[in-house]
């Protein structure tokens, strides 16, 4: 067993059952002109975590551990896009409309791709998901069970939307989850802080939190 120094207390794991899930590090959320910007967000702050997510990925790659990348996106015919999601808000550009990086949040378009610095390597799993949580209408649970994973490190964007939703879904399914605090971010700094606090409160009601250095130290120990 190994141990990551974490809040609210150390995270013990068997390296054989540890995997990394990087949530939605897509151009649509991180670059101007994408889905995140269409919602009225200042997307400039999210790019700052890219080098840290890269360090986390490299650490998991060096240790030969399972890596899963998710992408929030929809089929070009929008058949997996609920009307409630399509119609939400008052954006000028909606999911499926054409923006500077192609159709917003549509599989195969430039905006739906993971940012080049974090591009998945051969052998890593890339999971497209139509919802905020990565378990909704995907085979993620089957993948995790098939790979006999029990401990999950989560990173990516945004902390309070897709990362937290996925972490809660995983926690309810019996996985032990830890969020990498400096490898996730939100358009709203206060929401990131609050999310990490609510995840780790009450004895880790949803899971654990630790900075990337602590995770890498444990992997290298
Ligand atoms: N809007 C927002 O903060 N996030 C999303 O819509 N998706 C993800 O978090 N990936």
Spell out, as residue ranges, where the chain has pLDDT lower than 50. Answer: none
Q: Residue 78's pLDDT is what?
A: 98
Q: Residue 136's pLDDT is what?
A: 98
39 lines ligand 1 (CB under 6 A): yes
Mean pLDDT for the chain?
98
Of ligand 1's listed atoms, the one at least distance from the Cα of 186 is 3
Are 192 and 165 within 8 A, CB to CB? no
pLDDT digits (tens, 9 = 90+) for 171-191: 999 999 999 999 999 999 999
Q: Residue 90's pLDDT is what?
A: 85
Note if 24 is an active site residue. yes
pLDDT digits (tens, 9 = 90+) for 108-120: 999 999 999 999 9
Tokens of 46: 């999210």
Q: Residue 92's pLDDT is what?
A: 84
6 lines ligand 1 (CB under 6 A): no
In angstroms and rounded to an integer, the radius of gyration of the C-alpha atoms of the chain is 17
Q: Residue 91's pLDDT is what?
A: 86
In order, the DSSP letters of 5-72 are --BSS-EEE-GGGEEEEEE--BHHHHSTTSHHHHTT--GGGGGGGHHHHHHHHHHHHHTT-EEEEEEE
Ligand 1 centroid from CA 32, angstroms: 14
Q: Residue 40's pLDDT is what?
A: 94
Q: Residue 23's pLDDT is what?
A: 99
Note if 162 is an active site residue. yes
Q: Residue 190's pLDDT is what?
A: 98
């Amino acid at each position: 067993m190994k141990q990551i120094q974490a809040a609210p207390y150390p995270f013990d794991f068997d390296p054989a059952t540890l995997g990394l899930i990087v949530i939605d590090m897509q151009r649509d959320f991180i670059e101007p002109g994408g889905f995140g910007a269409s919602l009225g967000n200042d997307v400039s702050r999210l790019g700052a975590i890219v080098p840290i997510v890269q360090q986390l990925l490299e650490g998991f790659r060096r240790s030969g551990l399972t890596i899963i990348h998710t992408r929030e996106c929809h089929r070009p015919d929008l058949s997996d896009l609920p009307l409630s999601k399509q119609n939400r808000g008052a954006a000028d550009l909606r999911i499926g409309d054409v923006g500077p990086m192609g159709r917003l949040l549509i599989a195969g378009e430039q905006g739906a791709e993971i940012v080049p610095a974090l591009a998945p390597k051969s052998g890593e799993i890339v999971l497209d998901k139509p919802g905020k949580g990565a378990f909704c209408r995907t085979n993620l649970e089957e993948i995790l069970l098939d790979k006999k994973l029990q401990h999950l490190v989560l990173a990516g964007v945004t902390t309070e939307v897709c990362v937290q939703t996925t972490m809660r879904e995983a926690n309810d399914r019996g996985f032990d989850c830890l969020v990498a605090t400096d490898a996730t971010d939100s358009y709203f700094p206060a929401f990131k802080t609050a999310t990490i606090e609510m995840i780790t409160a009450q004895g880790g009601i949803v899971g654990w939190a630790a900075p990337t250095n602590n995770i890498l130290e444990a992997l290298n120990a």
